[in-house]
């Protein structure tokens, strides 16, 4: 079990032990950076809990495992936003290049990670989000079966055209979902689904980016956590543990996913996406690799982050025209969070290598960096939770950070 989860041995060991000893809690929190395998592990947990054979090997022939591999098992619900478009595009590229059975699974699962967010269990037909995406969702649902393992793939030219059409439809749906927070109605409907009586042994609710919930959704979730329905497991995923309210943290068991090394991320690219990193900057990490499929020039983002910090620390180098160009480029939601991540990464790197950054006094430099990271985190939250104007957020961030220098 969990043999397809790469370089998260500690988490897998804990989960496997909890399952073997029948001590798995009903509410779990998976914490860690993006692209560390939190969702893949949560989905595998659902398959392990449902396996009819008991072994839960990836190639288990039981019906439950077969449905979980295709992400069509009715005992799993997924909600919350994520980086759908990038993963779907990368998976489509893998299928185009290799035409392998494993690539068919990869692509089908990437698409269904998106389409299953519109599950009837918590999506009303009149929901504005569903209405916007309805035509594209129908297209994806009608065509995805042609790419499932066992289906005969069309000739290469037709394959590439059809996959490109699906990638574009998925990207359009994803664009309409970016930054969405989980609302109370979705939690209430998921709760009603969880309380349905049936013969199924276990059901799983996955809340991705669980830190992005409305206040009403948090309170509704607390009611489920306080009195979890029998046989129902809740898995919350987050990159920001500190943004989860204490009353929720106290009711979940936490599993920390580590940041993979560059060599480990290269292994993921090779094993999962059947690709060889070419040494370019855009493929330095799994994040860079995935973002490259949507023309996110990570080198430009990284360069903008360096200029941002330079103008911050050296007022004489500030150029209003150059600053305006940076803000204009990075205001796009595809670039906004990666830009802030690059600023944070540069701060950590410079702090570790330059004993005078950002100030000679040790106490001041630690306090300043801590304040900067807090401001960066707040900026991400204000964009994702409240949909505030990204240009104003970046300008406000710059001047707030400069006040601390």
> 9-263 in CATH: which number?
3.40.50.300
What percent of the chain lies above the pLDDT cut of 90? 71
Specify the pLDDT at position 282: 44
Q: Indicate the SS3 state at residue 66.
A: helix
Specify the pLDDT at position 281: 43
Specify the pLDDT at position 279: 53
Nearest Cα residue to 211 out of 15, 16, 373, 380: 380
CA 399 distance to own-chain centroid: 30
Which segments of 158-249 are extended strands (E)?
A: 203-207, 232-238
Specify the pLDDT at position 309: 95
Q: For the beta carbon of residue 201, count every other beta carbon within 10 angstroms.
A: 11
Structure tokens at 9: 């041995």
Residues 217-231: b if buried by 16+ CB within 10 A, e if exposed: bbebbeebbeebbee
Specify the pLDDT at position 278: 63
232 — alpha (psi -120 to 50), left (phi > 0) or beta?
beta
Contact in structure between 92 and 163 (CB atoms under 8 Å): yes
In whole angstroms, give the CA distance from residue 366 to residue 373: 11
Specify the pLDDT at position 284: 64
In whole angstroms, give the CA distance from residue 107 to residue 144: 9
Asked whether the whole model's pTM tops 0.75, one would answer: yes
Q: Are strands 76-79 and 203-207 parallel, antiparallel or unpaired?
A: parallel
pLDDT bin (cut points 50, 70, 90) of residue 142 is very high
pLDDT tens string 61-87:
999 999 999 999 999 999 998 889 999
- The mean pLDDT value for 329-333 works out to 85
Contact in structure between 303 and 311 (CB atoms under 8 Å): no
Contact in structure between 251 and 46 (CB atoms under 8 Å): no
Half-sphere exposure of 243 (CA within 13 A, CB side): 23
Mutual angle of helices 362-386 and 390-403, in 10-degree steps:
160
In whole angstroms, give the CA distance from residue 249 to residue 242: 9
Specify the pLDDT at position 77: 95
Structure tokens at 393: 């957020």
Q: For the beta carbon of residue 132, count every other beta carbon within 10 angstroms.
A: 15
pLDDT tens string 234-291:
999 999 898 899 999 999 999 999 999 989 999 999 999 999 876 554 456 888 888 8
> Does residue 364 have a pLDDT over 80?
yes
Lowest mean pLDDT among 89-98, 120-129, 222-231, 347-356: 120-129
Specify the pLDDT at position 158: 97
Specify the pLDDT at position 388: 87
pLDDT tens string 279-324:
554 456 888 888 888 766 788 898 999 999 999 999 899 999 999 9
DSSP element (H, E) containing 343: helix 333-353
Q: According to the 3-state scheme, what is the secondary structure of 264-325?
A: HHHHHHHHHCCCCCCCCHHHCCHHHHHHHHHCCCHHHHHHHHHHHHHHHHCHHHCCHHHHHH
DSSP of 103-171: HHHHHHHHHHHHHGGG-TTT--TT-HHHHHHHHHHHHHHHHHGGGSTTSPP--HHHHHHHHHHHHHHHH
Bridge partner residues of 205 (DSSP): 77, 234
In whole angstroms, give the CA distance from residue 157 to residue 96: 9
In whole angstroms, give the CA distance from residue 35 to residue 132: 28
CA 229 distance to own-chain centroid: 27
Specify the pLDDT at position 152: 95
> Does residue 187 have a pLDDT over 80?
yes
Specify the pLDDT at position 299: 82
In whole angstroms, give the CA distance from residue 340 to residue 398: 11
123 vs 116, 179, 210, 237, CA distance in Å? 10, 18, 18, 20
């Amino acid at each position: 079990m969990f043999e397809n989860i790469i370089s998260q041995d500690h988490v897998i060991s804990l989960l496997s032990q909890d399952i073997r000893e029948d001590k798995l809690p009903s509410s779990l929190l998976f914490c860690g950076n993006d692209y560390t395998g939190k969702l893949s592990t949560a989905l595998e947990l659902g398959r392990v809990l449902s396996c009819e054979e008991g072994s839960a090997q990836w190639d288990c022939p039981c019906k439950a495992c077969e449905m979980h591999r295709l992400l069509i098992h009715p005992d799993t619900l997924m909600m919350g936003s994520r980086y759908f478009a990038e993963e779907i595009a990368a998976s489509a590229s893998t299928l185009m290049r290799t035409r392998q059975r494993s690539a068919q699974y990869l692509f089908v699962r990437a698409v269904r990670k998106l389409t299953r967010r519109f599950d009837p269990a918590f999506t009303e037909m009149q929901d504005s989000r569903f209405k916007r995406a309805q035509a594209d969702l129908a297209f994806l649902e009608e065509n995805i079966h042609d790419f499932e393992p066992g289906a005969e793939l069309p000739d290469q030219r037709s394959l590439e055209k059809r996959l490109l059409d699906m990638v574009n439809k998925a990207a359009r749906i994803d664009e309409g979902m970016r930054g969405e927070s989980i609302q109370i109605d979705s939690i209430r409907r998921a709760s009603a689904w969880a309380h349905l009586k049936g013969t199924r042994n276990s059901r799983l609710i996955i809340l991705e980016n669980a830190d992005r919930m409305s206040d009403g959704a948090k309170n509704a979730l607390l009611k489920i956590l306080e009195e979890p329905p029998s046989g129902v497991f809740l898995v919350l995923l987050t990159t920001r543990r500190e943004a989860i309210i204490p009353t929720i943290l106290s009711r979940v068991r936490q599993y920390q996913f580590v940041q993979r090394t560059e060599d480990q991320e290269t292994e993921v690219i090779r094993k999962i996406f059947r690709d060889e990193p070419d040494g370019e900057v855009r493929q330095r990490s799994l994040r860079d690799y995935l973002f490259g499929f949507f023309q996110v020039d990570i080198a430009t983002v990284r360069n903008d982050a360096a200029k941002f910090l330079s103008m911050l620390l050296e007022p004489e180098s500030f150029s209003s025209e150059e600053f305006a160009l940076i803000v204009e480029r990075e205001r796009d939601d595809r670039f906004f969070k990666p830009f802030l991540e690059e600023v944070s990464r540069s701060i950590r790197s410079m702090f570790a290598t330059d004993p005078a950054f950002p100030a000679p006094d040790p106490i001041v430099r630690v306090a300043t960096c801590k304040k900067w990271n807090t401001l960066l985190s707040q900026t991400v939250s204000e964009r994702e939770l409240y949909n505030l104007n990204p240009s104003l957020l970046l300008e406000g961030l710059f001047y707030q950070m400069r006040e601390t220098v």
